[in-house]
Amino acid sequence: MAGRWKNDLTWSQVTPKAAWLNRRQVIAAAAGLAAGGIAGVARAGLSAKPSQYSTVEEPTSYEAVTTYNNFYEFGTGKDDPARNAHMLTTEGWQVQIDGLVDKPGTWTMDDVLAGTTLEERIYRFRCVEAWSMVVPWVGFELADLLNRVGVQPSAKYVAFETALRPEEMPGVRTRVLDWPYVEGLRLDEAMNPLTIMATGVYDEPMPNQNGAPIRLVVPWKYGFKSIKSIVRITLTEDEPPTSWNKANGREYGFYSNVNPEVSHPRWSQATEREVGGGLLAKRKPTLMFNGYGQEVASLYDGMDLAKYY
Ligand SMILES: Nc1nc2c(c(=O)[nH]1)N[C@H]1C(S)=C(S)[C@@H](COP(=O)(O)O)O[C@H]1N2
Ligand SMILES: [Mo]
């Protein structure tokens, strides 16, 4: 297990940028730099510290990470987010933090990032649809933010909400989900050091299609728990509703821990296809808790994971 971790170098230190950016992407990255400004880029990634929690596995290509997406607010096709998410306005973004906290309020992105140390977290990422990627996120621990607002003793869960902007999000004009997209974690899951708020990917500001300017990443759970473009975080006493559970509670539970032994009612979860692996790539075996059992299995001691799926 220990061999999976590295703790000395970030992805960008070991790989020349040109090796993972083709020419078109270099142009797009330069445009992002112009839009975000130097400070924005530095905040989003260039100063990110390496982490002991990063996997040594080879990251999925930048191209695949930013063009093969699920972000139903922009359409249900895998290529819809990359095509449509440029419509999302991220300037002046605010995150409301409320509920059972000592200091409720509205935070700008500068407030959120002030005093945080951004890290690169290269994580395995497993969608419930049985595809996977390895993504070099940039972000900070959610625990860090929650400690700054002060979690009250009665809080047991954290609820998250995505922006709802019908004029910028063509997908929300259809009722494929009950908008806004909402998600939730148990407080101990939220406080686990693996749980991050990500503000970048591949050493640059978060592309809109990946959930700009700030999204959750919970690497041991199916991808739909990792809610994008967050505008509200609420500490609650009761388990909060979650979008895919509301849409189909038999197929998608609150916990949604990656589990090769618990099949989705319509397909096996035993194996996964690595996106960008090519047509001949063999499916990989799916790992319990997506390979993060050493860090998180104890959160579920004594729980029947087939019942609490
Ligand atoms: N708001 C919102 N968040 C979302 C989704 C979505 O449709 N809307 N899709 C989820 C699903 S199913 C997955 S697999 C991941 C995909 O993240 P990625 O596109 O950055 O790989 O985002 C999750 N977060
Ligand atoms: Mo997903």
**Per-residue pLDDT reduced to its tens digit, 247-280:** 999 999 999 999 999 999 999 999 999 999 888 8
State the distance from the centre of ligand 1 to the C-alpha of 35, rounded, in angstroms: 24
Residue 21 pLDDT > 80: no
Residue 43 pLDDT > 80: no
pLDDT of residue 33: 47
> Domain residue spans in the chain?
11-300
Ligand 1 pocket member 183 (CB < 6 A): no
Query: Hey, whose CA ends up nearest to atom 21 of ligand 1?
Result: 69
State the distance from the centre of ligand 1 to the C-alpha of 224, rounded, in angstroms: 5
* Best residue for ligand 1 mutational test, from 66, 228, 275 (most atoms within 8 Å of Cβ): 228
pLDDT of residue 122: 98
Average pLDDT over residues 57-78: 97
**181: CB partners within 8 A, 6+ apart:** 72, 73, 161, 162, 227, 228, 243
Ligand 1 pocket member 71 (CB < 6 A): yes
Q: By the 8 A CB rule, do 194 and 119 touch? A: no
State the distance from the centre of ligand 1 to the C-alpha of 153, rounded, in angstroms: 31
pLDDT of residue 201: 97
Residue 288: Cβ-neighbour burial (10 angstroms; 0-12, 13-18, 19+): middle
Binding residues for Mo-molybdopterin: 69, 72-73, 127, 162, 210, 215, 226-228
Residue 22 pLDDT > 80: no
Q: Which residue has the higher pLDDT, 37 or 179?
A: 179
Ligand 1 pocket member 181 (CB < 6 A): yes
Residue 308 pLDDT > 80: yes
pLDDT of residue 16: 60
d(CA 244, CA 224) in angstroms, rounded, equals 8
* Best residue for ligand 1 mutational test, from 60, 66, 70 (most atoms within 8 Å of Cβ): 70
Residue 202 pLDDT > 60: yes
Ligand 1 pocket member 227 (CB < 6 A): yes
Q: Output the average pLDDT for the chain.
A: 91
Ligand 1 pocket member 224 (CB < 6 A): yes
pLDDT of residue 51: 96
CATH of domain 11-300: 3.90.420.10
State the distance from the centre of ligand 1 to the C-alpha of 102, rounded, in angstroms: 30
pLDDT tens across 75-91, in order? 999 999 999 999 999 99
Atom number in ligand 1 closest to CA 244:
12
pLDDT tens across 111-158, in order? 999 989 999 999 999 999 999 999 999 999 999 999 999 999 999 999
Residue 5 pLDDT > 70: no
Ligand 1 pocket member 223 (CB < 6 A): yes
Q: Which residues of 78-101 are buried (b: 16+ CB within 10 A; e: fewer)?
A: eebbbebbeebebeebebebbbbb
Residue 42 pLDDT > 70: no
Residue 215 pLDDT > 60: yes
